[in-house]
Amino acid sequence: MRNGSLILAAVVFGSSTLWAQHRVTPPSTIFIPVDQTPTPNYQYHDGTATLIDGTVLQGLFRYNGRNTFVYRTGGQALSKRIGFSMIRRLAVAGADSTTTTRSDSTIFVRLGRRLYRQLTGGTTMVVDRRFSVDEERGRIGQRLYVLDDNGDFHRFSSLQKLNKWFYAFRERSGKSLPDVFLNENEIVKAVARINGE
């Protein structure tokens, strides 16, 4: 009898354990957010490029997401890739007026060995390394670069350092502007106002 009750207890325990294992719900899926924005769809824009060798190209230009622009003339389907190292200046129709001071065109200029997007012109030029025209509205590159009126080239990856530079620049200009410029876009617009654009 004792053996029978032990066997019965073992069977009940085993079956309840087996039943409990089947009743456990599988772990739920955990989604971890990733800070990735979708790749923009770069469009063709009318424009004019001046190359390093002095050649002038007029036609349609599109950034291809790497270190080249795709160029084609008028309605021709044939296209040609133009590397950044070949371009001295490129002006294309269309602009993101939330990031640049121009509303009609976007200008890319060579400073030293690199190509930059010009955010402000004038004696103090603010540039970045983002090559969109109006495809990424409101986006500025991770770093801002400033070519000041003394010919010094500054690089800013910190908003705090950019603000510090801006307040010193504003004081040197002698122009009165409100004290609060917190983000990169506001500082770019204020530099343009000081430059008289």
pLDDT of the chain, 197 residues: tens digit per residue: 566 665 666 556 566 555 555 555 555 666 566 566 667 788 899 999 999 999 999 999 999 888 899 999 876 678 899 999 999 999 999 998 888 878 889 999 999 999 999 998 888 899 999 998 988 888 888 899 999 888 889 999 888 888 888 888 888 777 666 666 567 888 888 888 877 76
Query: Which residues, including other chains, have CB under 8 Å from residue 8's CB and lie 6 or more apart?
Result: none
pTM: 0.74
CA–CA gap between residue 188 and residue 184 (Å, rounded): 6
CA-CA-CA-CA dihedral for 159, 111, 196, 191, to nearest 10: 0
